[in-house]
Chain A
Amino acid sequence: MIHTLSRIIRTGILTETYPTPVAAAPEIEGLHKDLRNILGRALCIRHVDAGSCNGCELEIQALNNPYYNLEGIGIKFVASPRHADLLLVTGPVSANMEEALKRTLDAVPDPKLVVAVGDCGACGGVFGSNYASRGAIANVIPVHRTVTGCPPNPVAILEAICSLFSEV
């Protein structure tokens, strides 16, 4: 136990300041305040892998590491779409996941938002569209924001989520 505690103390708090959204660029504290006002510190995200190579998943997972500490501002990943406000979808959408993706979106209560993550989610990427792939997420469900990159880094994903709410 003493080793565990000593490592916690030695590690300290690593959380970095949050990125400023690209558009409009209000001060980050202000944005956090808005986020809290709008969402009451309770934005719930449901991630759906609609056929990605798992590269984007690695960077989405990184959002919860101590540096990005997404839960620290009240944004959390939830286990059920019924608890979610926002779907974070990676792609391309495989034909085999088309139905599951649509049904997951249906299960999210209104109002709901969709962010497409990664080059494949944005346009189909290196896989494109074919007999087994529908390409971009927007070809299957409505998308409110896309994050490009292969994979996009965690800051880019965070920026997209923040900027989405700065417009709400």
Chain B
Amino acid sequence: MPMDLCLGGKATYDIPSNLPCRRTTVGAVDWHRGAEMLQAAGGRLLTLWGADDRDRDGRFRIYAAFLVKEGVAVFEHEMESQSKPTYPSLAEIFPCALHMERAVHDLLGIASMEPDHRGWLRHGGWPQTVFPLRRDFDGSQQFPIDSQPYAFVQVEGDGVHEIAVGPVHAGTIEPGHFRFSVVGEKVLRLEERLGYTHKGVAKRFEGMQQKEGHRLAARLSGDSAVAFSWAYCAALEAITHTTCPPRAANLRALALEHERLANHLGDLGALGNDAGFAFGLTQFSRMKEDLLRVNASAFGARYLFDFVEPGGVVVDLPENASRSLLDHYLVLEEGVSSLCAIYDNHPGLQDRFRDAGVLNQELAEKLGAIGLAGRASGVSIDLRVDYPYPPYDRLNPKLVIQSTGDVGARVQVRFDEIFESLRLCRMLLEDSASGPIRTDCPFGVPGRLGLGLIEAWRGPVVIAIESGPDGSIRRCHAHDPSWQNWPLLEYAILGNIVPDFPLINKSFNLSYSGHDG
């Protein structure tokens, strides 16, 4: 039912994508009502973005993509007013929409009917009357900083005080601000303020050619470079009816699983360290470094920023690389197994992991949790499992899931996903698919919208491209699952003590750059 929606018999159209994907044009009433219907049928909000089409037909548009049982449903809503474009908010149906709507307002001046219009991406770097994603705005313009105080929600009561953390954090991590309201050590409320690393990526895309956009996509969040560049290429290939050769698809998946392995290894070490077990950091960072060096010899780079390109991949594995990769997987698997046993049997570590930062399933479902953090709270979504795009259609990936939703569950999901990723990597190497590693990817016909969705280590990343004339990009929207999962942290921390925040935060390990764009 959801894919056809039956919204007063409105027509739906296929959208080029690597997943089954349909688009419906809806009015303001159906925008809201349709979202309610999808939510009731178990749908989830994937992403929300706007576009300025005044040069084409005098309209602003807002798009929402939902993950439903059959695939992806995209709503497109046109706003008639050019001077005060507004649309009904989805935040009461999908709470995670709130930040996305505030970001759309900052960039395009399209306001949802939700009262919270505090700047999310705009901190004073450009005037309130300027909307950078509008077509009549020259992206190269710069403005003096005019920072205004941000109205955090205040908690009042006997002994309540605030702790402000960031944007510069005490560690080698990205910038963001956390405002804690605490009594003693106990957290009563956490409010996040993000947007510090906003670099104008969406505007930057507009000046680029389709065949070079994957490089920028890869740098949206460096730890998910393969996923973002693959999602970009998947969208572009769908628009241009290009089929990625099977060998290239295998290599993309191999690179994506290596990215997952490297990040999980890094996180497991850091989680041990944040719980006072430095041995864990030493061991896991050693294994991560070993994997990066294997990457360097197999793929030609430690981090695979420019490995995936439109039409395929840049290089094939060198001769005999399969053998050495398989040997490495054995060593890695043995190492991770033994560390898993050490973690499991360490009472001090388990004491910190268990019941810390609990996000129960009911709340996780309600907030729209997605990806790794969602799976640790019993939310069973994994694009590789649910909508297996090539080459996962031949690999039968297993869903890794936990139900307790605490730090321990997020640790366990990482351990189990490492073992599952290693299994997938072995299958990919044993697959005898040979042949070309790339094919020509022509220019997309102007005005076509395409979606690419890839399950990154953190969760599903989405890229929506609208092609422009002569191989240009008219609009490109990139979405990191951190948009959905940052608000989870505000709930998971409640009732915990401030000193546990680094551990709980690390167990989510969300992207600032991927979120801020």
Contact = CB atoms under 8 A, between A and B. Distances in A.
A11 B279 CA distance: 11
**Dominant secondary structure at the B interface:** loop
A34 to B, nearest CB: 26
B302 A94 contact: no
A24 B513 CA distance: 38
B459 interface: no
Contacts of A7: 279, 283, 338-339, 342
A159 interface: no
B197 A97 contact: yes
Nearest to A79: B170
By CB atoms of chain B within 10 A, which of A11, A49, A128, A151 has the most?
A49
Contacts of A96: 121, 123-125, 195-198, 516
Contacts of B50: none
A97 B219 contact: no
Contact of A133 (B123, B200, B279, B346): B200
Interface stretch (B58-66, B75-83, B138-146): B138-146
B167 interface: yes
B386 interface: no
Interface in B278-302: 279, 282-283, 285-286, 288-289, 292, 302
Contacts of B292: 62
A125 B126 contact: no
A62 B289 contact: yes
Nearest to B141: A131
A163 interface: no
B324 interface: no
Contacts of B398: none
Given A55-B303, A79-B171, A95-B145, A132 B289 contact: no
Contact of A130 (B140, B170, B286): B140
Nearest to A45: B172
Interface in A1-31: 3-4, 7-8, 11, 14
Nearest to A127: B199
Q: Interface size class for chain B?
A: 35 or more
B126 A49 contact: no
A131 B266 contact: no
B140 A4 contact: no
A38 interface: no
A92 interface: yes
Contacts of B114: none
B222 A151 contact: yes
A134 B396 CA distance: 46
B168 interface: yes
B221 interface: yes
Contacts of B286: 11, 14, 65-67
B416 interface: no
B302 A153 contact: yes
Contacts of A48: 168, 175
Interface in A71-89: 77, 79-81
A133 B222 contact: no
A125 B338 contact: no
Contacts of A133: 199-200
Contacts of A52: 174, 197, 222, 513
By CB atoms of chain A within 10 A, which of B125, B204, B292 has the most?
B125
A79 B172 CA distance: 9
A66 B132 CA distance: 45
Given A49-B174, A97-B197, A130-B140, A65 B288 contact: yes
A150 B196 contact: no
Given A4-B279, A11-B286, A97-B175, A58 B220 contact: no
Contact of B125 (A49, A53, A79, A132): A132
Interface in A35-75: 47-62, 64-67
Interface string B256-284: 00000000001000000000000100110
Contacts of A92: 199
Contact of B126 (A51, A126, A131): A131
Contacts of A53: 219-222, 513
Contact of A131 (B143, B283, B305): B143
A126 B219 contact: yes
Given A60-B172, A77-B172, A99 B223 contact: no
A128 B167 CA distance: 22
15 contacts: A51-B197, A53-B220, A54-B222, A56-B222, A58-B223, A61-B172, A61-B266, A94-B516, A95-B123, A95-B145, A95-B198, A96-B196, A125-B219, A129-B142, A153-B302
Interface of B: 121, 123-126, 130, 132, 137, 139-143, 145, 147, 167-168, 170-175, 195-201, 203-204, 215-216, 219-223, 225, 266, 279, 282-283, 285-286, 288-289, 292, 302-303, 305, 338-339, 341-342, 345-346, 511-513, 516
Given A4-B346, A62-B285, 19 more contacts: A7-B283, A11-B286, A50-B175, A51-B175, A51-B198, A54-B223, A54-B512, A58-B303, A65-B289, A77-B171, A94-B199, A97-B175, A127-B201, A128-B204, A130-B140, A130-B200, A130-B204, A150-B219, A151-B222
